[in-house]
A and B are shown apart, each in its own frame.
Chain A
């Protein structure tokens, strides 16, 4: 922000500003997301790449058009729309039809952000708003998962051909992934996610597969390792509050650990809970959204605990295999309340106001 050409600039405090601007932070978040994104493309192939390009493009374009409509200076350059687009793509199934991805991008930016007044005013994470809309609109397509590393780990075919559902015609029912799997004769590869396998078949997936990212699932939730790496990078640069992911993961581990200890047969281990599904991606990149999370450290701990506990409860007791999205949206919704309850005491003020 340039101060302007005035000789004297009169403003209220703070007068000394840090070096960090919104644009820089957002750019670094993009950097942190790049390895995850690249790995998603590597695991799921050309379809994932196309989807990432499409959602990011849609988000940026929507933001630009909405700014023009509102006769404001375009806010495309602050990279926040890019992040929304990337995150949206990363939490969708890799073979998701592109036309639906476009719908998701438009909804993310319009309903998730612009409607509330743009960046900084949005109570919810825009990418998750888009995903929630898609989940309600196209419940089948969004739970149709493509297998990872098809047809083989080192295979060029993944990058030269597109999974059929990806290119289904706008407004038309997508081609089924099951048919596609049969078509390329991928015996032994299934599109069922580790969480769905756990919930409906009581079949656990080896932890190392989850950690490295050898499993089916949303494009970006494959590798816990790269997500953690991105998170550490952002924390090290002080662009993200480390308390958010830590509090979420610790609570999720504690709650699922309690379930596991109560019945080792029925419930999965805490480690499985942490590394499967979208919890890691959500905890590191979505819940930590500065706009939607509380301000004070104690507030963040409450916020993280809420998200972690609700995620585990939805996964183990709810009707859906995955609950990270709703848990984070719920946490976002509670943020103003948490903030008002955890107002830090003004320095020098008494603990309780003296009655007049």
Chain B
């Protein structure tokens, strides 16, 4: 007893650096193995889930579509088929019916409301209009701003929202704009939700930015996109 207390009074014996390294390395190895195992075990299910959710949303806003092919539009306006998961492109999904004819294109849009918003909208190149809409990610105030995801009157705006391109300049003839609740007159106007004006306006801005930037590129590569469905 007295011996040990004398020892404690002196410097406690430090473990050697080697033993620390050995312990940390072996613990890390075990942990690494566990993580890799879990990753491998869940990989299939996760990819399946993500794909299902995107596919569900795409098919949901393109009624009648039997299958979809993802495309990407890069900053220069070039269209790539099935872009890599980490590619820096705006993602669009072309939806085709049983016979392979193009039904419409689901386009992803992002922007800022009170918080970041991610939406998906359906564009018809034939009718030159937006005919479907879904909010994918929304962190707006529950009960107020998040009405943009549920309120039927608001979602009715997107049953036929004009997005006609000027053939000469390849820019929208009438940029999409959000107007105050109850004052919608024209086909390119979005009737805002009374009490959720900021979030409604954010949707209008996202659509305006996205249509102005992407629709010319899509129109330019429309044949390519149509052909992809036939193959």
Of residues 188 through 230 on chain B, the ones whose CB sits less than 8 Å from some CB of chain A are: 195, 197-198
Q: Quick check: B143 and A200 within 8 Å, CB to CB? A: no
> B144 on the interface (CB 8 Å rule)?
yes
Q: Quick check: A200 and B198 within 8 Å, CB to CB? A: no
- Expressed in whole angstroms, the Cα–Cα distance for A319 and B144 within the complex equals 13
> B159 on the interface (CB 8 Å rule)?
no
Q: Quick check: B198 and A140 within 8 Å, CB to CB? A: no
Q: Given the known A-B contacts A200-B180, A201-B180, are A139 and B143 also in contact in the complex, defined by CB atoms under 8 Å?
A: yes
What 3 A-B pairs are tightest by C-beta distance, nearest first? A139-B144, A319-B198, A140-B195
Residues of the B chain whose Cβ atoms lie less than 8 Å from the Cβ of A140: 143-144, 195
Residues of the B chain whose Cβ atoms lie less than 8 Å from the Cβ of A139: 141, 143-144, 195
- Expressed in whole angstroms, the Cα–Cα distance for A200 and B198 within the complex equals 11
Task: Name which residue of chain A comes closest to B144, CB basis.
Answer: A139
Chain A residues packing against B (C-beta within 8 Å): 139-140, 143, 200-201, 319
Main secondary structure of the interface of B (DSSP, over half): loop
Residues of the A chain whose Cβ atoms lie less than 8 Å from the Cβ of B180: 200-201
Task: Name which residue of chain B comes closest to A199, CB basis.
Answer: B197
Task: Name which residue of chain B comes closest to A320, CB basis.
Answer: B198
Of residues 132 through 159 on chain B, the ones whose CB sits less than 8 Å from some CB of chain A are: 141, 143-144
Interface string of B106-148 (1 = CB under 8 A from A): 0000000010000000000000000000000000010110000
- Expressed in whole angstroms, the Cα–Cα distance for A143 and B143 within the complex equals 14
Residues of the B chain whose Cβ atoms lie less than 8 Å from the Cβ of A201: 180
Residues of the A chain whose Cβ atoms lie less than 8 Å from the Cβ of B195: 139-140, 143
Residues of the B chain whose Cβ atoms lie less than 8 Å from the Cβ of A200: 180, 197
Of residues 1 through 42 on chain B, the ones whose CB sits less than 8 Å from some CB of chain A are: none
Interface string of B157-195 (1 = CB under 8 A from A): 000000000000000000000001000000000000001
How many whole Å from B141's CB to the nearest CB in chain A?
A: 8
- Expressed in whole angstroms, the Cα–Cα distance for A201 and B194 within the complex equals 13
How many whole Å from A176's CB to the nearest CB in chain B?
A: 10
How many whole Å from A267's CB to the nearest CB in chain B?
A: 19
- Expressed in whole angstroms, the Cα–Cα distance for A200 and B180 within the complex equals 8
Task: Name which residue of chain B comes closest to A178, CB basis.
Answer: B194
Task: Name which residue of chain A comes closest to B147, CB basis.
Answer: A140
- Expressed in whole angstroms, the Cα–Cα distance for A143 and B114 within the complex equals 19
Task: Name which residue of chain A comes closest to B197, CB basis.
Answer: A200
Task: Name which residue of chain B comes closest to A136, CB basis.
Answer: B141
How many whole Å from A95's CB to the nearest CB in chain B?
A: 16
Residues of the A chain whose Cβ atoms lie less than 8 Å from the Cβ of B141: 139
13 pairs across A/B with beta carbons < 8 Å?
A139-B141, A139-B143, A139-B144, A139-B195, A140-B143, A140-B144, A140-B195, A143-B195, A200-B180, A200-B197, A201-B180, A319-B114, A319-B198
Task: Name which residue of chain A comes closest to B180, CB basis.
Answer: A200
Residues of the A chain whose Cβ atoms lie less than 8 Å from the Cβ of B114: 319
- Expressed in whole angstroms, the Cα–Cα distance for A200 and B195 within the complex equals 11
Residues of the A chain whose Cβ atoms lie less than 8 Å from the Cβ of B198: 319
- Expressed in whole angstroms, the Cα–Cα distance for A140 and B143 within the complex equals 9
How many whole Å from A141's CB to the nearest CB in chain B?
A: 10
